[in-house]
Amino acid sequence: MLHYYILAPFLAAAIFPFIYSDSRRLHAGWFVLPVPVVLFIILLQKLSVLISGDTIMQTVRWIPSLDVNLDFYLDGLSMLFVLLITGIGSLVVFYSIYYLDRTEQLKQFYVYLLLFMGSMLGVVLSDNVFVLYTFWEFTSISSFLLIGFWYKRKRSAYGAQKSMLITVMGGLSLLAGLIILTNITDTTSIRGMIAAQEDILNSGLFIPALLLVMTGAFTKSAQFPFHTWLPDAMEAPTPVSAYLHSATMVKAGLYLTARFSLIFSGTDAFFLLVTGIGLITLCAGSFLAVKQTDLKGVLAYSTISQLGMIMAMLGFGTGGAVLAAIFHIFNHATFKGSLFMVAGIVDHETGTRDIRRLGGLMSLMPVSATLAFIAAFSMAGVPLPILNGFLSKEMFFTASLKISQTTSLASAFADFVPFLAVFGSIFTFVYSMYLVFGTFSGKGNVKDLPKKPHEAPKGMLAAPAILVILVIIIGLMPNLISGSLLAPATEAVTGEKALVHLKFWHGVNIPLYMSLAVVIAGTLLFITLKKWQPLYGRIPSYASADRFYNGLLSVLTNGSKQLTNGYMTGSLRLYTMIILAFLTGAAGWFLWRTGGFAFSTSDLAPVTIPELIIGAVMLIAAIASVFMTHRIAAILVVGVVGYGLSLLFVFFRAPDLALTQLVVETITVGLFLLCFKHLPKLWPLNKTAGEKFFDLIVSLSTGTILTLIAISAHSSKWFDTISHYFVETSYTLGGGKNIVNVILVDMRGLDTLFEITVLGLAAIGIYIMIKLRTKGD
């Protein structure tokens, strides 16, 4: 049944545009809302299976010859994520009904959202690494569409492009890492790779595989230095930010890291890479968040810092650290999702997200302010028993004190990690206070706002209110989810039995002192914020990751433009020469490197007088075509060569090839004649002696290399011929007596399908260009 859960959002995306009309009185979101709600309820019922210690596995055969099947696997870790994807997805869709006006392009929005939802479900449920990668890239594409939803805005288009380039680059890195792991373990199953952990660790390709896989995780989860795409993605509509950038997409990298922990964890390289990048991201993200003046900008950098903290805990590798990471993934989705929604409410009801223009909204928007304060205090880790964020933050501090128990390298850094954890958490406290007090407290300039502020509709408040209620409930009763959700997820990451019992008070200990230090130092820094905030202006511009991205993109763009302009001159002769020269060089080099220059006369058909005569005529016609001065004569002479080849196929008993060649040659000659008026004059040739000599060299080289390839293909038998297999099985497997037809339709059905698809796409592209040209665009 697991594949049906993944398929459901895709089917809904395909059907929705046909069942919804803009003329309907109901908002489009009401037609979409049942999809995530029903999926959430169904998946929630599967918790009992996981609590009992079992897992759910589903296999759908896809390409068994390549060991690529649709293997879906539901364990504790994937259950946590599917509930977040469908649960937060339900709230986001409900919120969007009141946030997005019916004048927006709602069909496109909800189709993109459903595609993303299905893609994320595919990522967290896939056991086959290549199926996982396929859904991984689907999330990049669908998020690109969602971030660029308001595509007429330059910042939206820029943010969408930026996120696409960085995450797809990471996806390609992930693909390379998965290929390496597949070659090492000879399996495409994640569970199979975990079982072959020793083979991976002892392989000389372990470090490259680790770096490539983790690069994919870092780009998707906005880890330093790839974090620069997330702030620009805030140009997306707020429902998108609340869904993608707090609860789902940015956590895909965390999921990947957690899923592959049983392979990589426990090694010095994994600890150094994941913990190091995580702590840097935590500190840099929290520090830079205070610099922002846009509400969603603050939330973007706060998300970066929170993701860094979770990544660092996964790098610690201890059972307590993994439990803390799992718990904080859940907590972060609750308080950050609600904060994004409240930021959207403020923007919706005041017309701005600029903190410098806001303030004093508490009396005008009391419900929104209350929700924001509870969520922000939870994010800050304020030690109150009603805040779930404090519990997981305390567990983070505890885990940071115990990393010396993991690897030899970890013990060398054990004394520094707690200080970095406290530093990052201090600025987390500061930006949390800055976010809510800067928006809702103080006097403010309400009269200068674009809109007169007022409380949001109840429907818009419902979704963030539910998330804040979860913050309070989990803060008061964390063990509601400890046995059913946190323990199975932790066991899936560590591979060991997890006994989870959470409580608020652990006595007076070092983690408590660390939390108090965060609150005291954070309060002092927040009170004196206006005095030291100008220091951000002294940070050199070249230290910006955004500046580095723009510089690199500019170099690549300008370089590619210059390179393209160098050979895209409009000369068909030049294009043909480049193609033929590359073909000749590459094929010749490969033949030379592999010893392919072989010549064998065995097993050749006899050549009789008719074949010699036809060959001689073809040779004469080919040579004559070079000296033709009239276009019609050249077309007819070239046609002689093609029709002569058809006759040779007939003599050598290949009627299918003869018929194909006849059809192709007839169409080609006909097209030449139809385009006769547009063909260039053949004479006189306005070429220098050097150009003629170069043409001669390229022509002779191309003809020679193609002849050698044909001879080598017959003479070099590196593998057993596959023709016997086709002869023996074409009728029994394909049900056809024509072997060629069976090969094209059955044996190579996917190949033929993709060829047709490519031709179809090309035809659509040509049609679009013609339509644009007729409009003068």
Residues 378, 389 contacting (CB under 8 angstroms): yes
* Residue 422 resides in a domain: yes
Q: Which of the four pLDDT bands, split at 50, 70 and 90, describes residue 22?
A: low
pLDDT for 135: 94
pLDDT value of residue 178: 94
**Which of the four pLDDT bands, split at 50, 70 and 90, describes residue 739?**
confident
**What average pLDDT does this structure show over 108-124?**
92
- Asked whether residue 177 is domain-assigned, the answer is yes
Closest C-alpha among 479, 485, 501, 468 to residue 44: 485
Q: Are the CB atoms for 439 and 345 separated by under 8 Å?
A: no
Check whether residue 617 and residue 735 sit in a common domain: no
pTM of the model: 0.81
Give the mean model confidence (pLDDT) for residues 67-86. Answer: 89
Per-residue pLDDT tens for 335-375? 999 999 999 998 888 888 888 888 888 888 899 999 999 99
Task: Give yes or no: residues 335 and 481 share one domain.
Answer: yes
pLDDT reading at 777 higher than 60: no
Tokens of 401: 């004190």
Confidence (pLDDT) at 253: 92
My answer on whether 504 and 633 are in the same domain is no
Regarding whether 388 and 302 lie in a shared domain, the answer is: yes
Q: Nearest to residue 206, comparing CAs of 190, 186, 184?
A: 184
The amino acid at residue 24 is: R
The CA distance from 664 to 449, in Å, is 70
Task: Name the band, by pLDDT with cuts 50, 70 and 90, for residue 247.
Answer: confident
Mean pLDDT of 735-743: 81
User: Once rounded to an integer, what is the mean pLDDT over residues 137-156?
Assistant: 90
What does the pLDDT read at residue 24? 65
What integer is the mean pLDDT of 497-509?
A: 77
Instruction: Give pLDDT tens digits for 373-405.
Output: 999 999 998 888 888 888 888 889 888 888 876
pLDDT of 143 reads: 92
Per-residue pLDDT at 680 exceeds 80? no
Q: Are residues 607 and 491 in the same domain?
A: no
CA dist., res. 213 & res. 181, Å (int): 10
Question: Nearest CA to 644 among 619, 681, 667?
Answer: 619
What pLDDT is stored for residue 2 in this prediction?
84
Provide mean pLDDT across the span 421-431.
91
Residues 74 and 216 in one domain: yes
- Residue 457 C-alpha from the chain's centroid: 35
User: Burial letters for 165-194: b for 16+ Cβ neighbours within 10 Å, e otherwise?
Assistant: bbbbebbebbbbbbbbbbebbebbbbebbb
Q: Note the pLDDT tens digit of each residue in 617-634.
A: 888 888 888 787 777 888
pLDDT tens, position by position, 324-333 = 999 999 999 9
Band of residue 775 on the pLDDT scale cut at 50, 70, 90: low
- State which residues form the domain around 322: 293-550
Whole-number pLDDT of residue 91: 94
Band (pLDDT 50/70/90 cuts) for residue 536 is: confident
- The reported pLDDT for the residue numbered 355 is 87
pLDDT of res. 545: 79
Which of 667, 691, 718 is a domain's end point? 718
| Statement to judge: residues 536 and 592 lie in one domain | no
Judge if 108 and 183 occupy the same domain: yes
Stated as kind and residue range, the H or E segment containing 61 is: strand 56-63
Domains identified in the chain, total number: 4
Q: Which pair of tokens denotes residue 411?
A: 């013990």
Q: Are residue 576 and residue 615 in the same domain, yes or no?
A: yes
What distance lies between CA 248 and its chain's CA centroid? 13
What count of other Cβ atoms lies within 10 Å of the Cβ of residue 735?
9
pLDDT of residue 405: 65
d(CA 294, CA 160): 18
pLDDT confidence of residue 542: 66
- Residues 539-587 pLDDT 10s: 776 667 778 888 888 888 888 888 888 888 877 778 888 888 888 888 8
What average pLDDT does the chain have?
A: 86
pLDDT at residue 147 tops 80: yes
> Would you say residue 426 lies in a domain?
yes
What CATH number has the domain bearing residue 644? 1.20.120
Confidence of residue 521 (pLDDT cuts 50, 70, 90): very high
- Rounded to the nearest 10°, the torsion over CA 399, 401, 402, 404 is 130
What single letter denotes the amino acid at residue 343?
Answer: A
Give Cα 197 distance to the centre of its chain: 26
Same domain, residue pair 225 and 297 = no
Q: Tell me, what's the pLDDT at 406?
A: 67
Residue 607's region, left for phi above 0, alpha for psi from -120 to 50, else beta, is beta
Judge whether 565 lies within some domain: no
Mean pLDDT for 230-240 is: 88
Domain for residue 124, yes or no?
yes
- pLDDT tens-place string over residues 696-736: 888 888 888 888 888 887 777 777 777 788 888 888 887 88
Say yes or no to pLDDT of 85 above 90.
yes
State pLDDT tens for residues 585-607. Answer: 888 888 888 777 777 777 777 78
Position 115 scores a pLDDT of 93
Residue 471 maps to a domain: yes
Residue 190 has pLDDT above 60, yes or no: yes
**Is 685's pLDDT higher than 70?**
no
Residues 640 and 740 in one domain: no
Q: Identify whether 564 is part of a domain.
A: no
Any residues with CB less than 8 A from the CB of 15 and at least 6 apart, and which? Answer: none
Burial letters 426-460, b for 16+ CB under 10 A, else e: bbbbbbbbbbbbbbbeeebebeebeeebebbeeeb
- Verify that 732 and 616 share a domain, yes or no: no
635 versus 463: the higher-pLDDT residue is 463
Return the pLDDT at 23: 61
pLDDT for residue 359: 82
Whether residue 556 is contained in a domain is answered as: no
Element holding 452 (H helix, E strand): none
pLDDT digits (tens, 9 = 90+) for 638-668: 888 888 989 888 888 888 788 888 888 888 8
Look up residue 642 and give its two tokens. 């093609």
